[in-house]
């Protein structure tokens, strides 16, 4: 039977990917960040998950304003890194798991009423590749299969935090009902506070981020009821990405054990946050 062995929340800042790709992880600017992530990387390597379900957002790469799925599941055999304007990152192509993805789609749509889009051709941008690089380093092949679950956090109207949390709970039921043996890691990516545009560009709100990290662990239900207006005000326009962490959290037990927590400002224009959780 499939079972969840890890829940990971992490930011996906593209400059982190560039730092890895260009050998700058030991530079004074980046070293504290990579040292802070290392314990989670070691923990995950010891667990050796078979499959990672990576909840992420696309940044007008694979999807643009011509088609904006609220939730889109990657059904393909492979997912190549997207060329975001400077050539695709030199990271491995993700190997998918269509059989598991179809099971997830069936369970989410037929049993739980989440009418998500199924995507059989999909490149993945920094939203997905940077979290993999952070947690898996620079292997020639990713150490597990990857199923992308893409969320619209870019174009109004985005899904609510509550809907994301509920999707995570439904995802849990879908994973639990998959018969083959598989260790599944669930990644919730994006955030933390940041705003890349407008008068408040550069906004970072450490108090708010720390509150999120606290409650992600102990009281995710209280985060799920937060509305977009509060998130935009407190975490910034791009900080809204943080709602994707609630999908990961919804897939875990109510009671979790925190394996690692790390918070660092700044990482490019954002606050970097990491939370590594296990079912208690």
Q: Identify the H or E element spanning 93.
A: none
Query: Does 145 sit near ligand DHB (CB under 6 A)?
Result: no
Q: Using CB under 6 A, pick the residue from 98, 268, 278, 279 that binds ligand DHB.
A: 268
Best CA proximity match to 52, nearest among 109, 152, 125, 136: 136
Active-site residue, 22 included: no
Which lies closer to ligand DHB via its Cβ, residue 13 or residue 174? 13
Catalytic one among 126, 165, 260, 264?
A: 126
Binding of ligand DHB by 264 (CB under 6 A):
no
What is the Cα Rg of the chain in Å? 17
Among 59, 89, 163, 172, binds ligand DHB (CB under 6 A): 59
CA distances 275 to 188, 209, 219, 268, Å, are: 9, 12, 14, 19
- Examine the residue annotation and report whether 194 is marked as an active-site residue of this protein: yes
Q: Which is nearer to ligand DHB, 97 or 195 (CB)?
A: 195
Q: How far is CA 269 from CA 98, 115, 141, 258, in A?
A: 36, 34, 30, 27
> What is the per-residue DSSP string for 132-182?
HHHHH-S-SS-SSEEEEEEE--SSSSPPPHHHHHHHHHHHHHHHHT--S-E
13 binds ligand DHB (CB under 6 A): yes
The residues in 16-45 that bind ligand DHB, with binding defined as CB under 6 A, are none
Closest CA to 245 of 277, 267, 202: 277
Active-site position among 12, 165, 194, 260: 194
Q: Is 103 in the site for ligand DHB (CB under 6 A)?
A: no
Could you say which of 208, 237, 238, 250 contacts ligand DHB (CB under 6 A)? 238
Residues acting as catalytic residues: 126, 194
Judged by the rule CB under 6 A, the positions of this chain that interact with ligand DHB are 12-15, 59, 194, 196, 238, 268-270
């Amino acid at each position: 039977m499939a079972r969840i062995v890890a829940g990971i929340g992490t930011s996906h800042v593209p400059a982190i990917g560039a730092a890895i790709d260009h050998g700058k992880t030991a530079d004074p600017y980046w070293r504290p960040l990579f040292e802070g992530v290392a314990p989670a990387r070691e923990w995950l390597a010891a667990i050796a998950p078979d499959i990672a379900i990576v909840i992420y957002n696309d940044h007008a790469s694979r999807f643009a304003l011509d088609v904006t799925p609220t939730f889109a599941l990657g059904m393909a055999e492979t997912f190549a890194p997207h060329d975001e304007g400077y050539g695709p990152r030199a990271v491995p192509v993700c190997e998918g798991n269509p059989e598991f993805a179809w099971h997830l789609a069936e369970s989410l749509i037929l049993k739980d009423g989440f009418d998500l889009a199924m995507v059989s051709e999909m490149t993945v941008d920094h939203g997905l590749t940077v979290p993999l690089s952070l947690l898996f380093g620079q292997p020639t092949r990713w150490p597990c299969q990857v199923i992308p679950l893409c969320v619209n956090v870019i174009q109004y109207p985005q899904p609510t935090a509550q809907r994301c949390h509920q999707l995570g709970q439904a995802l849990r039921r879908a994973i639990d009902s998959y018969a083959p043996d598989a260790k599944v890691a669930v990644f919730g990516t994006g955030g933390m506070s940041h705003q890349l545009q407008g008068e408040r560009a550069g906004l970072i709100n450490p108090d708010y981020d720390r509150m999120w990290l606290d409650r992600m662990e102990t009281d995710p239900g209280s985060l799920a009821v937060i509305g977009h207006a509060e998130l935009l005000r407190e975490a910034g326009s791009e900080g809204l990405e943080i709602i994707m962490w609630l999908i990961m959290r919804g897939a875990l037990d109510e009671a979790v054990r925190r394996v690692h927590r790390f918070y660092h400002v700044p990482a490019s224009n954002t606050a970097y946050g990491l939370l590594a959780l296990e079912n208690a």
